[in-house]
Structure 1
Amino acid sequence: MDALAVAREVYERLAALGTDPPRMRAWTGEEWGPADAAATVVLEHPGALRALLLPPSDLTAGEAYIYGDVDVEGDIFSVLAFARSLTHLKPTSPTAWSLLRLLRRLPAESRRRDAVRPTFHGILHSLRRDREAVRYHYDTGNDFFATFLGETMVYSCAYFLDPAEPLDVAQRRKLDVICRKLELRPGERFLDVGCGWGSLVLHAASRYGVEATGVTLSSEQAEYARLAAKRAGVDDRVTILERDYRELDGTFDAIASVGMVEHVGARQLPRYFRRLRSMLEPGGRLLNHGIVTRERGRRLRRRPTFISTYVFPDGELEPIEEVVDAAMGAGFELRDAESLRTSYALTLRRWVANLETNHDAAVAATDETTYRIWRAYMAASAILFEHAGISVFQLLLTDPARRWTFGRRWMLADDDT
């Protein structure tokens, strides 16, 4: 068989094994598969399918997409859902070996051969290396992030009460829920660890009258947050520091850490919580909002993935019980835990839709490869949240001596009836 016939045979076998396959278009323009499919996978050259599937891993597939061996037209979520439906296929099964032999008959051509994977230097989770890794991710450019985050410029899970409501409504609710859970009061000192573009410190200062400090390792975020505070008229109550949380001095009445714990690392979790505990006044409280995994025993088989290579270098997700255990070991009491897993899936779907709508602006702010990295990463993450492979929790942690507030109504959003 020639390359076109081999590629079609591989596609048809995979389509029969999975659920709701996408349509496929070969480099010749010939198309196969359901005419009403939600998406079309485009093979850009005769070796494209081999480049996508060998060696089998999410890193291989991701690189084939971002470097242009293949393209995805239409609903990228449906393509990823189809890929997930194939995970029942065991690599050592006769079916898998038969597919492998077919794929090896395709040209060993790959546009990712010239790719340079990001590399970082120094001891894992040292101050220097963490700065390098975090800036790689967050200094992609404010203009780029603005193409998909929306008006609030919040890069973390929103708080949806209705799947159909606007993203900005759900994001503003999330900011307010954090402030309510922390029971912020006028004049209190509030710290946001990993403050991003400053949305939470601005909300806390303007709505709750606190003296807010935000810290970030991203110079672009810090500059944006300072300007936003000035425009909002709260720059006298908002301080933005370009600093690692381990370098901070002073104490605070309340601390929020939103989307930061994922960068800490498993071995550093106890130190992370001890450091935050040491910065709290007696009776203080911490809201830790972070992604967790349902996987167990990963340290025995850790390997590079698409996201760990191109999106979150050195990032680590831990099971929720390990996060809670580290917090309790640092002297905190867990007062409340809330999962926002489905809200994060919705958030990611909105971000992908915004990014796709603003494709030209996103590429102008960065390049096509960066656009594809973020489109693939956010869509794949949405699928993981939807199928409970990962989750996200808000943990309200306090000094055990803090007075008890009965019920939960006080921490709910005003419109959460």
Structure 2
Amino acid sequence: MRIADTIHQMTGDVPVEFVAYDGSRAGAPDADVQVDIRSPLALSHIAASPNTLGLVRAYVTGALEIVGDMYTALAALPALKLSAIPTDARVKLVAKLAGARLWWPTRPPREERRLRGGRHSMRRDAQAISHHYDVSNTFYEWVLGPSMAYTCAVYPNENATLEEAQYEKFDLVARKLALEPGMRLLDVGCGWGSMVIHAAKHYGVRALGVTLSANQAEWAQKRIAQEGLSDVAEVRHLDYRAVQETDFDAISSIGLTEHIGDANLASYFQLLYSKLRIGGRLLNHCITRPNNLEEARTQSFINRYVFPDGELLGPGRIISQMHDTGFEVRHEENLREHYARTLAGWCRNLDSHWEEAVAEVGPHTARVWRLYMAGSRLGFDRNMIQLHQVLGVKLDAQGRSFMDLRPTW
């Protein structure tokens, strides 16, 4: 049985051409996407995990190549299904795949490093964040662009560029927080300091950002100095739980909650609540599941290769916990279509720097990123994941919020 025909049967009638190392071809010959099975190692991984994970492992190792746009490929390819193959063909396939498993290793390719310590402890969180963010600042500059913003942008119109949308995102957060000159802002999980810089530069606030990534903190401090903002802006290599200052006028959390974990959600909001003055606002911006019915942890590929210990919660879970902590939630919105657009921009950036990226971080990491960003874009497009901004305020003892009757942003 020819290999390309076998894989084609497993995927069904999809607009993809399959090419294999045995010279076989199957599927749509004029398709925009081609799946190239380059070695028996691809069959080995598919045999060990006859589902999406097996296909992922084959791609990450380079035993399988996707020729064409990765998003288009993922949108076209379903999970591999042995049940879709007729019984007689399945017997031949099992024999072929069994041989592949015998002669080729089926151990997963290198994934995340082994994390030590209790789940979501300070020590283990530092390792998990370092795994993803301490890759290469140069690599991130290529992928993210000048804004160095690794979170969902907000597109003010259909024709806005990625940079314009990232500016709008930070400005929207600043407006929701009602920032004014002289205020004090804490940005937890601040990344490369983009929100810190935006708030200090455009709103005249004194901004402190904290991140568990040493690479991010170093890059951010240099950028702050270049912008001439060192007297009003600072980024520390520090866990948000170790911040000593209090009485902030506002707190922004942009892309941190995904790393907190469901078990720590209450203590997370309690700590942020304790850091705010009366009337202070919290803007929580994070990826969520579309509901509260599933387990909190992310899908296997993302958790294994991209965000170790990452957990996605439903928006209702987050809003309820904010209320239970003492915040009054005053506004909420879902920006999932914006994140799909953001990821499309990052994917284009990576493709335009592909050879440089492979040389900088290695083919394994570059392939993981190409796959993960295209897959995430598909997830937002199909409402498998969402992006929610939730605005809360710390009331005084009489229940006053000190907010305008209608939103001003």
TM-score, length-normalised on structure 1? 0.90
Identify if the C-alpha distance between structure 1 residues 382 and 303 changes in structure 2 by more than 3 Å, giving closer, same or farther.
Answer: closer
Task: Report the Cα offset of residue 66 of structure 1.
Answer: 0.7
User: How many angstroms apart in 2 are the aligned matches of 1:346 and 1:78?
Assistant: 14
Structure 1: which amino acid aligns with 2:265? L
5+ unaligned residues in a row in structure 2: which ranges?
Answer: none
SS in 2 for 1:229: helix
1:270 aligned residue (266, 275, 285): 266
Deviations 1:280-317 (A, max 9, x none): 011100000001002554449x6971110110000000
User: How many angstroms apart in 2 are the aligned matches of 1:156 and 1:399?
Assistant: 25
Q: Tell me the residue number matched to 1:406.
A: 405
Task: Kindly indicate whether the alpha-carbon contact (under 8 Å) linking 1:189 and 1:253 is maintained by their aligned counterparts in 2.
Answer: yes
Is 2:290 the partner of 1:310?
Answer: no
SS in 2 for 1:255: strand
Task: Report the Cα offset of residue 30 of structure 1.
Answer: 4.2
2:16 aligned residue (22, 35, 39): 22
User: How many angstroms apart in 2 are the aligned matches of 1:380 and 1:96?
Assistant: 30
Task: Report the Cα offset of residue 336 of structure 1.
Answer: 0.5
Task: Report the Cα offset of residue 48 of structure 1.
Answer: 2.3
Deviates more, 1:161-170 or 1:143-152: 161-170
Q: Tell me the residue number matched to 1:414.
A: none
Structure 2: which amino acid aligns with 1:48? A
Taking only aligned residues, the RMSD between alpha carbons, in angstroms, comes to 2.2
Task: Report the Cα offset of residue 322 of structure 1.
Answer: 0.6
Task: Kindly indicate whether the alpha-carbon contact (under 8 Å) linking 1:163 and 1:346 is maintained by their aligned counterparts in 2.
Answer: no
Is 2:289 the partner of 1:281?
Answer: no
Is 2:354 the partner of 1:359?
Answer: yes
Residue pairs, 1:127-166, within 5 angstroms: 127-166=122-161
User: How many angstroms apart in 1 are the aligned matches of 2:89 and 2:281?
Assistant: 55
Structure 2: which amino acid aligns with 1:403? F
Structure 1: which amino acid aligns with 2:403? W
2:387 aligned residue (373, 392, 400): 392
Structure 2: which amino acid aligns with 1:116? R
Residue pairs, 1:328-347, within 5 angstroms: 328-347=323-342
Task: Kindly indicate whether the alpha-carbon contact (under 8 Å) linking 1:48 and 1:69 is maintained by their aligned counterparts in 2.
Answer: yes
Task: Kindly indicate whether the alpha-carbon contact (under 8 Å) linking 2:34 and 2:67 is maintained by their aligned counterparts in 1.
Answer: yes
SS in 1 for 2:333: strand
User: How many angstroms apart in 1 are the aligned matches of 2:323 and 2:91?
Assistant: 52
Q: Tell me the residue number matched to 1:290.
A: 286
1:326 aligned residue (321, 325, 331): 321
TM-score, length-normalised on structure 2? 0.92
Deviates more, 1:104-113 or 1:66-75: 104-113
5+ unaligned residues in a row in structure 1: which ranges?
Answer: 412-417
Deviations 1:97-137 (A, max 9, x none): 77754542322265663733321011001110001111111
Q: Tell me the residue number matched to 2:249.
A: 253
Identify if the C-alpha distance between structure 1 residues 263 and 100 changes in structure 2 by more than 3 Å, giving closer, same or farther.
Answer: farther
1:229 aligned residue (219, 224, 245): 224
1:31 aligned residue (6, 25, 32): 25
1:184 aligned residue (179, 185, 198): 179
Identify if the C-alpha distance between structure 1 residues 94 and 82 changes in structure 2 by more than 3 Å, giving closer, same or farther.
Answer: closer
Is 2:62 the partner of 1:68?
Answer: yes
User: How many angstroms apart in 1 are the aligned matches of 2:29 and 2:6?
Assistant: 18
Task: Report the Cα offset of residue 384 of structure 1.
Answer: 0.6
Is 2:75 the partner of 1:81?
Answer: yes
User: How many angstroms apart in 2 are the aligned matches of 1:255 and 1:303?
Assistant: 26
Deviates more, 1:93-102 or 1:125-134: 93-102
Q: Tell me the residue number matched to 1:202.
A: 197
Task: Kindly indicate whether the alpha-carbon contact (under 8 Å) linking 1:10 and 1:102 is maintained by their aligned counterparts in 2.
Answer: no
Identify if the C-alpha distance between structure 1 residues 117 and 46 changes in structure 2 by more than 3 Å, giving closer, same or farther.
Answer: closer
Structure 2: which amino acid aligns with 1:37? A
Task: Report the Cα offset of residue 11 of structure 1.
Answer: 3.1
Structure 1: which amino acid aligns with 2:175? R
User: How many angstroms apart in 2 are the aligned matches of 1:204 and 1:253?
Assistant: 13
Task: Kindly indicate whether the alpha-carbon contact (under 8 Å) linking 1:52 and 1:65 is maintained by their aligned counterparts in 2.
Answer: no
Task: Report the Cα offset of residue 25 of structure 1.
Answer: 1.6
SS in 1 for 2:95: coil
Identify if the C-alpha distance between structure 1 residues 138 and 60 changes in structure 2 by more than 3 Å, giving closer, same or farther.
Answer: same
User: How many angstroms apart in 1 are the aligned matches of 2:289 and 2:278?
Assistant: 32
Task: Report the Cα offset of residue 68 of structure 1.
Answer: 1.3
Q: Which has the higher contact order (CA 8 A, sep 6+)?
A: 1
Task: Kindly indicate whether the alpha-carbon contact (under 8 Å) linking 1:64 and 1:112 is maintained by their aligned counterparts in 2.
Answer: no
Q: Tell me the residue number matched to 1:174.
A: 169
Task: Report the Cα offset of residue 173 of structure 1.
Answer: 0.7
Task: Kindly indicate whether the alpha-carbon contact (under 8 Å) linking 1:202 and 1:229 is maintained by their aligned counterparts in 2.
Answer: yes
Task: Kindly indicate whether the alpha-carbon contact (under 8 Å) linking 2:9 and 2:84 is maintained by their aligned counterparts in 1.
Answer: no
User: How many angstroms apart in 2 are the aligned matches of 1:97 and 1:126?
Assistant: 50
Task: Kindly indicate whether the alpha-carbon contact (under 8 Å) linking 1:287 and 1:397 is maintained by their aligned counterparts in 2.
Answer: yes
Residue pairs, 1:376-391, within 5 angstroms: 376-391=371-386
Structure 1: which amino acid aligns with 2:276? L
User: How many angstroms apart in 1 are the aligned matches of 2:16 and 2:302?
Assistant: 23
User: How many angstroms apart in 2 are the aligned matches of 1:334 and 1:221?
Assistant: 31
Q: Tell me the residue number matched to 2:111.
A: 117
User: How many angstroms apart in 2 are the aligned matches of 1:74 and 1:161?
Assistant: 30
Is 2:44 the partner of 1:40?
Answer: no
Paired residue total: 399
